Each structure stands twice: as structure tokens, then as C-alpha cells.
Amino acid sequence: MEHVVIIGNGISGVTVARHIRKNSNKKITIVSAETDYFFSRTALMYIYMGHMKFEHTQPYENSFWKKNNIELKKGFVKSIETASKTLQFAEGDSLQYDKLVIATGSKPNKFGWPGQDLEGAQGLYSKQDLDSIERNAPDNKICKRAVIVGGGLIGIELAEMLNSRSIPVTFLVRENSFWNGVLPEGESAMINRHIKNHHIDLRLGFNLKEIKSDENGKVKSIVITETGEEIDCNVVGLTAGVSPNIDFLKSSTIEINRGVLVNRHLETNIPDVYAIGDCAEQRDSGIGERRPIEAVWYTGRMMGETLAQTICGNRIEYKPGHWFNSAKFLDIEYQTYGWVYAKPRENEAHFHWKHEDDTKCITVCYDTTNNTFLGINTFGIRMRHEIFDRWLTEKRDVDYVMKNLPQANFDPEFYKHFEKDILAAYTNQLQTA
């Protein structure tokens, strides 16, 4: 019986395991050094905030794995010998595989800041990161202030977490507006205001120079590059993005760049070795407009769904459908379907609508040469994935999309609808343009 070993028990590794089990009776082992069982990484914040306990973030009951004959091994893979198809563990033991899936995810970026490895300086990615923040910032007496460095999705989640325990937060963002490398100006500005309304000290356009240590090797303060200002704090959140967690592969024959290099079939340069999820890097170029490395929950899952087919003998290419994503910025939900860039590219235009209460807005991107709808960002209004997926496939024009927007509404029943206002604003803009 063929033995498939999967390194990493995140969404990618677990999805590929589940789908292999659905389609075959191969022996499956999932290896993880992080936790005994799969948990939802995206829910770590809710444990710290007291909405859930750790066990609630585990999508499957502990008996699920045995029932589905999926073996779980706790251990840290130190190296891979591809010639003998053997994994060497830091604990000293080893494991043979027939097929190997690398799904080790990401690690927080650290850009060589002085003091970045002090106790109290950390990212927010793993269960260990959660344990560490619980240790260093249990309340606002032990952690009098926290500084977060890096204005992305994890940064704002960390800010929300600390805020829930009344720990004052200073949020250093390198850009001059929150996440404006991704979000168009109007949206980004709205989120800036929302962050400030939560009494988070948002500092736009500032960089971290260094983290200073106290006599016990713990974080004492940080210094801002631009102003030289020193801010006393007990925790520093390093949330300036993530990169593939593949240091253990450096000595192996598996080809890596920033991530593990794979072809469109998610195969590495070594036969029977595959890589999926955050740690995989498309060898030639990103697929379509996608980046070569996609550190997104959904893409990890899709790669898992696809690779299971290949491993079970139905070799198929990884061809993700239309881009979609979602996030939540404190109280404002965000969804995106198709492509909306921060600034319209050539032959593109944006239509932006914002509600007067400053918590809801949408941006629609379309092609100015033929009016084709290209994508939408929506804040504070839920929309249907299925409808936009269909409209993108059908290459609907933007007028059609704007007129049929009510079809896409996914807000709970009895919510106020804004499609009329949006359409009026859209029509009005066309007339004045």
C-alpha cells in the first residue's frame, strides 16, 4: 500500500489528506510539530478574545482521524532525503514515504530589525504565537502598551485582539494609508478612520528602527525610524507579511526559491514530491493575475483538492477559478471577487460608492475599452460568491452588474439595501463623466 506523507496539518495538508482518503485506501500520515490536531489558524484571534476556546477552532472531532484512517504524527522534520524517500525528525526518528506533500505554510517576516527575537516580539501565525501573546499580554497591567508593525490583515487582527483586553495599541504602518497596496484609496481611508474610532493609535508612514530590551531580555520599547521617537511597550507584533516556512529544505535536493518551486501540477523537481499552500511557489509565473506565492486559506484548500486527484492517479493541473478573498477589519467585513487593484491599471476604471455612515463601500473595476466587469470590493455589505463567479465567467458588462446588484446581495434578512443608491450614484457618475 502506497504511503503518502504530508508535512503540515494546516488547511492545505488536511484537505489533500481528506480527498486522498475519499478516493483511495492509501496509507496517509500527516506530520506536524505545531499541534496534535488540525485547527483553523484564522480563528486564533477569537481564542485570545474569549469568543472561543482552542478546541472550538478544531474543525473535526478528535475521533475523525482514526475513523478515516489518517495517521497523525507529532514531530519536526529536520531534513528530507529524497533519494531514499526518508524524513529525518529533530526528535531522532525517521519515516519512509512513497509520495510526499510539503504543506508547511508560512512564517512571519522579520526584516532584521535589532531586537526582533526578544521575548515579547512576535508574529501571529502559529499556536505557539498565541501562547506567547497570552503569556506576554494577558491584560493591560502586565502589558501596558503594545506596538504593531506592519499594516496588513494580521496586523489589524492583532490590534483588535489587544483592544479586546483594553491594552493600548500603537499601530505602525509603513504606507501612508492602511493596506493601500491592495485597497483602493477610498476604502483604505475608510479603514484608517475605523481603526482610529476603535481608539487604536494608528501611525501612518512610519517604520520600525529597533526594538529595545530590558535587563531580562524582554521588549522594553521601540524606536521609530522617521522621528526617532521611543515608545514604551511590552509587546511588539511583527506583522509585516509572511513568507514560506521552508528552511528545513535548504539541505535537500528539492528546488526552492522563496518557496518550494512547483509546476502547474504542483509537482516539485523531485518525482513523488509535491508542495501546496502558502509554501508553494509557481515555477514559471503566477497563474493568470495571481502571484507565484499565494498565502491565502482558500488557495491552500484548492491546491489540496486538486493535488489529491493527481496523487490518486488522475493527474490534473492546478487551475484555480476566479479570484476571491475575504477579511474582517474590526467591525467591517470585506469581500472581493475578481480583480480590483489599488489603482486602476491601463484601460481600467473604478466606480467607488461609499455610504454616508462611513462603514460601507464598494469599488467596482471594469475595462474601459469594452465595459467588461472585472471585479468588486465590498465593505460592510455581504455579496454572493456564486453570482459574481458566474458574472465573471459570463464576462458581463459593468452596466449589467450594477443593474443586477440586488441579486448578489447576501446580507441577513430585513437589512437595509443600498443597491438603489449605488445604481443612482453609478448612473450619475456616467452622466457627469
- Whole-number minimum distance, CB 130 to other proteins, in Å? 14
Number of residues counted as binding other proteins (CB under 8 A): 71
Q: Is 414 left (phi over 0), alpha (psi -120 to 50) or beta?
A: left
Smallest CA-to-CA distance from 244 within 103, 355, 72, 364 is with 103
Site string for other proteins, 235-274 (x = CB under 8 A): ----------------------------------------
- Whole-number minimum distance, CB 359 to other proteins, in Å? 5
Does residue 151 contact residue 179 with C-beta atoms inside 8 Å? yes
The one among 321, 347, 368, 430 contacting other proteins by CB under 8 A: 321
Q: Does 322 bind other proteins (CB under 8 A)?
A: yes
Q: Does 35 bind other proteins (CB under 8 A)?
A: no
Q: Report DSSP letters for 385-432, one per residue.
A: HHHHHHHHHTT-BHHHHHHTHHHHB-PPTTPPP-HHHHHHHHHHHHHH
CB neighbourhood size of 249 (10 A): 24
- Whole-number minimum distance, CB 261 to other proteins, in Å? 21
Say which DSSP state 56 is in.
G
User: Measured from the CB atom, is 196 or 291 closer to other proteins?
Assistant: 196
Q: Which of residues 190-209 bind other proteins (CB under 8 A)?
A: 190, 193-194, 196-199, 201
The one among 215, 284, 346, 357 contacting other proteins by CB under 8 A: 357
- Whole-number minimum distance, CB 358 to other proteins, in Å? 3
Residues recorded for the chain:
433
Alpha carbons 105 and 243: distance in angstroms, whole number: 8
The one among 285, 416, 431, 433 contacting other proteins by CB under 8 A: 416
Say which DSSP state 47 is in.
H
Q: Does 78 bind other proteins (CB under 8 A)?
A: no
User: Measured from the CB atom, is 196 or 343 closer to other proteins?
Assistant: 196
The one among 4, 6, 7, 11 contacting other proteins by CB under 8 A: 11
Does residue 205 contact residue 226 with C-beta atoms inside 8 Å? yes
Q: Does 232 bind other proteins (CB under 8 A)?
A: no
| CB-based contacts of 194, cutoff 8 Å, min separation 6 | 329, 330, 331, 332, 358, 359
Q: Does 52 bind other proteins (CB under 8 A)?
A: yes
Alpha carbons 27 and 431: distance in angstroms, whole number: 64
Q: Interacting stretch for other proteins, rule CB under 8 A, among 24-32, 259-267, 339-347, 413-421?
A: 413-421
- Whole-number minimum distance, CB 170 to other proteins, in Å? 10
And the C-alpha cell for 347?
484601460
User: Measured from the CB atom, is 48 or 366 closer to other proteins?
Assistant: 48
- Whole-number minimum distance, CB 202 to other proteins, in Å? 11
Q: Which of residues 287-316 bind other proteins (CB under 8 A)?
A: 297-298, 301-302, 305-306, 309, 316
Q: Which of residues 379-398 bind other proteins (CB under 8 A)?
A: 382-386, 389, 393
CA angle, residues 32, 33, 36, in degrees to nearest 5: 65
- Whole-number minimum distance, CB 11 to other proteins, in Å? 7
The one among 24, 35, 42, 372 contacting other proteins by CB under 8 A: 42
User: Across the beta sheet with 219-224, what order do the strands follow?
Assistant: 208-213, 219-224, 230-232
Smallest CA-to-CA distance from 248 within 416, 31, 58 is with 31
User: Measured from the CB atom, is 207 or 326 closer to other proteins?
Assistant: 326
